[in-house]
Structure 1
């Protein structure tokens, strides 16, 4: 089963955290992603630009600055994982949530969207 895990956080929240916290998180993520990769559970990971660099494109190709869900937090990092069952995806997300001190969004990738 494939899942997408998303970490949502505002740019200002990252700046408000201590340099020590940011260094700890970067080190944790490097180790954590290596472990997932070694277990053949990590398909890919993307680190996204902060929301200050985001643009949205609307009908008629109108371009605006900002991210789509301005009422919520923008995505900062996204992981594509492949695990045997949902419980493992939730376990991975719980580890991230505990270390990052936030909520992690978990969504299954539907079979119709998967390509060889």
Structure 2
């Protein structure tokens, strides 16, 4: 089964955290992502620009600054994982959530979307 895990955080929230926290988080992410890759559970990771660099494109190619869900938090990092079951996806998300001190969105990628 394939799942997408998303970490949502605002740019100003990241700035409010201490440099030591940010360094610890980056070290954790590098190590844990490597572990998932070694166990063939990590397909890919995307680290996204902060929301200050985001745009949205609407009908007729209208462009606006910002991210789509302005009342929520923008995505900061997305992981595509391939695991045996939902419970394992939740276990991985819980480790991210505990270390990042936030909620992690977990969504199954439907089989029809997995085309080469």
Given the two structures, how large is their TM-score scaled by the length of structure 2? Answer: 0.99
Superposed CA deviations along residues 30-86 of structure 1, whole A, max 9, x for unmatched, are 000000000000000000000000000000100000000000000000000000000
1:115 Cα deviation after fit: 1.2
Given the two structures, how large is their TM-score scaled by the length of structure 1? Answer: 0.99
RMSD: 0.4
CA distance in structure 2 between the partners assigned to 1:66 and 1:93 by the alignment: 27
The corresponding residue for 2:99 is 99
The corresponding residue for 1:70 is 70
SS in structure 1 at match of 2:67: coil
CA distance in structure 1 between the partners assigned to 2:32 and 2:13 by the alignment: 22
Q: What number of residue pairs does the alignment pair up?
A: 116
Gaps of 5+ in 2: none
Gaps of 5+ in 1: none
Which residues in structure 2 correspond to 1:4-15 (within 5 Å)?
Answer: 4-15=4-15
- Greater than 6 Å deviation, 4+ residue runs: none
